[in-house]
Structure 1
Amino acid sequence: MTKKEKPNGLTRRELLATAGAATAAMTMGIRPAFATDTLKVGFISPRTGPLAGFGETDGYVLEVVRKALANGIDIAGKTYAVEILDQDTQSDPSRAGQLAKDLINNQAIDLMLVVSTPETINPVADACEAAGVPCLSTVMPWEAWYFGRGAKPGEPSPFKWTYHFGFGVGEFHKTYVSQWKLIETNRKVGVMYPNDADGNAIRANLAPLLQKDGFTIVDPGAYETGTTDFSSQIALFKQEGVEIINTFPIPPDFATFWRQAAQQGLHRQVKIVQVAKTGLFPSGVEALGNLGIKLGSAAYWHKAFPYKSSVAGVSGTELADGYEAASGKQWTQQLGATLSLFDAGFDALKKTPDPKSKEAVAKSLSTLNTVTIAGKVDFTSGPVPNVSPGPIIGTQWVKAAEGAKFPLDYVVTENATDPNVPVGATLLSYNG
């Protein structure tokens, strides 16, 4: 070895030249080849405010995902560190849009993930579409996402950057017909559809399908979120003799409506109370006391789903048990739904030749065909571009067995939209 050589085989001059080039690269914002690039993923959900039930389990899911990705991910032979930047909308649509713009403009995220309800998802998706940032979302009817943001039936998709997976009106229709056939009724359905993106999409698309199947729809008209007096709707339902109630309210509105329905005697007349967007989580149902027992619901995820998380490697039961052990609270269907968003999002990143290219990530989303803890996600065969439909499973809240850890049990009563999910119980009449 000469005086000028180093043990690594480089001369002192070569070593200094290499160091200088690396310093220059860092100054220009270019990471040298031996450094690990970081993928920044935004995650927006409602963790406080009226929609807080949807975000209650998100902290735990984020812990699971961050632990699974602590050593980064390998993409196209390169290791990337992962930084997940999570934000709480406080259930405010305006704040949701502002948070999205901050993550896009000030944090330079590579991918946006957003979950739960049009009030959260649509403002975020719109911000991403305008800025040219790939965005993936779940947990709202896809029609309210697609048509609610300006797409027109029969016309090409106006969206290049935003993608959504999960249930739609077709799945609700299939599930409700399957569920409602389990109990004999007069097939009169009193509907409570709010004047919002969900309610308007459901009224326009679901109600006509149910009518074609022989159900009589009794619709008192759209109501405004935050309504405090539902006496006129209740009077109409009593007068028409409805035996099925179907509603898509936010949780506080359903609690108000159903307590007033009980005070005015409607609850004694109905045999099925099928609730969506609320009645999804045990805390909200428990708050209704005995009025919550035997409420019909629907699950976009249940711990009985027979799939594993591709990110975390856990089964549904393992995810639910882990949450209960960590929090002391009962598992909710949002656990698997939120985790499925990370499953699908990171699978799209892994299948991208260059995950730092927003165009490449968007293209990967458009061709994504994978299986998450909540089931299949396939953007190659959707009913419209940018959408992959997903299951919604008929469920019911029943009184838990004596000695159970929690007062209510959440059981699967039908599986028309995903026969792989095992049915675990028989639907009970609300007044049975």
Structure 2
Amino acid sequence: MTGLCIGVVVPRTGRLAPLGEPLAYVLERLAPRLTRLRARGRSHPLRIAVRDSRSDAATARGAVRELAERERANIVLTMAGTQVLPAVTDACEELGVPCVSTTFPWQAYGYARGGDPRRAFRWTYHFAWGLDDIADVFADLWERLPGAEGPERTVGCLWNDDLQGRLLRDEGFGFVPAARARGHRLVDPGPYPEPAGDLTAWVTRLREAGAPIVTSAATAADLARYHRQARGAGARPRLITCSRWLTYPHTATAADRRVHDELAGARVATLVYWSPGHPHRSSLDGTTCAELAGAYQETTGRPWLQPLGLAHALVETAHHALSAAPDPTDRAAVAATLSRTRLTTIAGRLDWTAGPTPNIALLPLAGGQWHSGPKGPRLEIVTNTRTPEVPVTADLVPAA
């Protein structure tokens, strides 16, 4: 096939489909602008080739091979899935195709691909935040809990038995040492199976520990189950901080109305990596964060989602790498260009020259909380220690 090709692996079907929606939307929105690309004084035809991972790692690997061999993709983009994302990036590494990914803490990105969080790669690049960054922004929230301000909080840990839970409880790097360095006592009753069944043992253990705060990375359904059982046992936490699925509104990732009703009063706090209030613009056309969020809401009739900004930045990064490479048809040249990339995007400044490893660009985090409203849950910014340019929109409120 002639011209340049950006390949994309996105979950359009299966369990992860809600997480793939932002990237699917951005691709549709930007497609008319990405029919040609100018690089080194030459104009190249450009096309986007999309494959559905079906929320399955094996299917994702096959999708990469098809993009690499049949579509002759010059670069591959992906996001979402603790098993699917590593499958895509590993396949790109094996096949020698430049790849950019996001929505995965950088330690997990490295650990899931060979057990070394700081492992270096030749072909694959990632932008996100670290588990330690999550711990720091959550600690900001714990320390602002009304009536319990300050350090030395007892925090209960509701972590699963999968990759995310194993990494969160790792003593050597990431979340645990960062939280303890802030003076907090973490109580971990051990891993629960995901999806969760009866969580009585975890409720009992955290109640006995006197933990007014619970931190987790659970799905909306599992967190609602815990909250319902804790409430029934008289052990309702005053604050829940949750990453991963709860960076999305629970109405977007769980169909069960009981889950929505249960979490509405929980006022779950989470990390915020992108919002309409972030003061960034697209490197492609100057679109602001507020404009992108507004366009999504107008087009879909649904609330904006945090990964919209990351999805848009993925496409911006691919466009930049192909435009700036000495030869955009040479995959090695494109990969080398990614390693030197410093680009201001709608998700913020991405700098792959600054580390913490050669393949990682870091994004700072704010702290947010889901508040109930007439149109469903809305994400308010409640702490901006690391992102002072992002305005705080509400106070942190304990569970109702």
Fold conserved between structures, TM > 0.5: yes
Q: Distance in 2 between matches of 1:132 and 1:124?
A: 12
Structure 2 segments unaligned to the other structure (5+ residues) = none
Q: Distance in 1 between matches of 2:81 and 2:143?
A: 28
Work out which of the residue numbers 12, 15, 23 in structure 2 matches 1:58.
23
- Are residue 40 (structure 1) and residue 2 (structure 2) matched? no
Between 1:54-63 and 1:273-282, the stretch displaced more is 54-63
Alignment of structure 1 residues 72-111 onto 2, 5 Å: 72-111=36-75
Q: CA RMSD in A?
A: 2.0
- Amino acid in structure 2 at the alignment position of 1:191: C
Which residue pairs with 1:116 in the alignment?
A: 80
Distance verdict in 2 for CA 1:364–1:108, change over 3 Å = same
> How far 1:73 moved relative to its partner?
1.6
Between 1:358-367 and 1:163-172, the stretch displaced more is 163-172
Equivalent pair of 2:10/2:24 in contact (CA under 8 Å): no
Equivalent pair of 1:151/1:158 in contact (CA under 8 Å): no
Which residue pairs with 2:154 in the alignment?
A: 188
Over residues 18-47 of structure 1, what are the superposed CA-to-partner deviations in whole Å (9 max), with x where a residue is unaligned?
Answer: xxxxxxxxxxx8xxxxxxx52111111223
> How far 1:208 moved relative to its partner?
2.2
How many percent identity over aligned positions? 31
Which residue pairs with 1:209 in the alignment?
A: 178
Distance verdict in 2 for CA 1:322–1:98, change over 3 Å = same
Between 1:359-368 and 1:421-430, the stretch displaced more is 421-430
Which residue pairs with 1:161 in the alignment?
A: 123
Over residues 118-159 of structure 1, what are the superposed CA-to-partner deviations in whole Å (9 max), with x where a residue is unaligned?
Answer: 2221000000111111111110100000122126367xx441
Q: Distance in 1 between matches of 2:361 and 2:162?
A: 22
Over residues 321-357 of structure 1, what are the superposed CA-to-partner deviations in whole Å (9 max), with x where a residue is unaligned?
Answer: 1111111111111211211111122112221111110
Equivalent pair of 2:224/2:263 in contact (CA under 8 Å): no
Q: Distance in 2 between matches of 1:77 and 1:145?
A: 36
Q: Distance in 1 between matches of 2:49 and 2:219?
A: 27
- Amino acid in structure 1 at the alignment position of 2:165: G
What SS does the corresponding residue of 2:134 show, helix, strand or coil? helix
Q: Distance in 2 between matches of 1:430 and 1:274?
A: 11
Equivalent pair of 1:51/1:251 in contact (CA under 8 Å): no
Work out which of the residue numbers 288, 293, 299 in structure 1 matches 2:260.
288
Work out which of the residue numbers 307, 320, 337 in structure 2 matches 1:364.
337
Which residue pairs with 1:393 in the alignment?
A: 366
- Are residue 136 (structure 1) and residue 92 (structure 2) matched? no
Equivalent pair of 1:87/1:99 in contact (CA under 8 Å): yes
> How far 1:290 moved relative to its partner?
4.9
Distance verdict in 2 for CA 1:258–1:93, change over 3 Å = farther
Q: Distance in 2 between matches of 1:327 and 1:152?
A: 40
Which residue pairs with 1:272 in the alignment?
A: 239
TM-score, normalised by the number of residues in structure 1: 0.85
- Amino acid in structure 2 at the alignment position of 1:93: A
> How far 1:160 moved relative to its partner?
0.5
Work out which of the residue numbers 318, 330, 335 in structure 2 matches 1:345.
318
Q: Distance in 2 between matches of 1:55 and 1:310?
A: 22
Distance verdict in 2 for CA 1:228–1:76, change over 3 Å = same
Distance verdict in 2 for CA 1:120–1:251, change over 3 Å = farther
- Amino acid in structure 2 at the alignment position of 1:160: R
Equivalent pair of 2:155/2:213 in contact (CA under 8 Å): yes
Q: Distance in 1 between matches of 2:126 and 2:387?
A: 19
Equivalent pair of 1:412/1:424 in contact (CA under 8 Å): yes
Structure 1 segments unaligned to the other structure (5+ residues) = 1-28, 30-36
TM-score, normalised by the number of residues in structure 2: 0.91
Q: What is the count of residue pairs matched by the alignment?
A: 387
